[in-house]
Amino acid sequence: MIKNAPFRFADFESIEFKYGEPNHMVNEYNSKTRIYKYLDKKDSLITDTVKFTKDDLLYLHRKAMELGFWNLDTDMTGPEWQQDSTHSKVPRFYLEFNYKDKSKHITLDADFAGNPRMHDAAKSMIDEVNRMLATAQAR
């Protein structure tokens, strides 16, 4: 990916991360509010408070730069969603980085069939946020 970082960490405000079925994305985290809601193995909605440290956020910001997050398409929805948006069950991920003057978000479906490099970069970024969430929650 091309490295282009029009977003500076000094202007960073928050990360929003959501995932689940497209019309039912109940798993969500917002670094500003520190609220993490997710479904456990028993399908119970759990609400937890998870704090990312400044180092965690800096790591994710730099990872976004490395993977070319700023250059990814905003809409990477898959064919099932485009054919029938009301009954799609394919997992969807939404990731947004918010800065003082602007923000960047992506929506990625697991069955996205577009550019494989874009898919891989988006999936890698989502995996990193998920990993950091698990690490921060374990603290």
The predicted-structure confidence for 71-126, as pLDDT tens digits, reads as follows 999 999 877 656 666 666 789 999 999 999 899 999 999 889 889 999 999 999 99
Please tell me the distance from the alpha carbon of residue 88 to that of residue 79, in angstroms, as a whole number. Answer: 10
Q: Say if residues 10 and 69 touch (Cβ distance below 8 Å).
A: no
Domain at 13-114, CATH from 3.90.320.10, 3.30.1560.10, 3.30.70.360, 1.10.3720.10: 3.30.1560.10
What does pLDDT average to over the chain? 89
Please tell me the distance from the alpha carbon of residue 104 to that of residue 96, in angstroms, as a whole number. Answer: 6
SS3 63: helix
Would you say the pTM of this structure is higher than 0.85? yes
Q: Say if residues 40 and 46 touch (Cβ distance below 8 Å).
A: yes
Hey, what amino acid is at 133?
L
For the chain, domain boundaries:
13-114
The count of other CB atoms within 10 Å of the CB of residue 27 is 19
Q: What is the pLDDT of residue 5?
A: 53
Q: Say if residues 38 and 112 touch (Cβ distance below 8 Å).
A: no
Q: What is the pLDDT of residue 97?
A: 96
Residue 53 has which token pair?
């440290």
Q: What is the pLDDT of residue 43?
A: 87
- For range 34-38, the mean pLDDT: 96
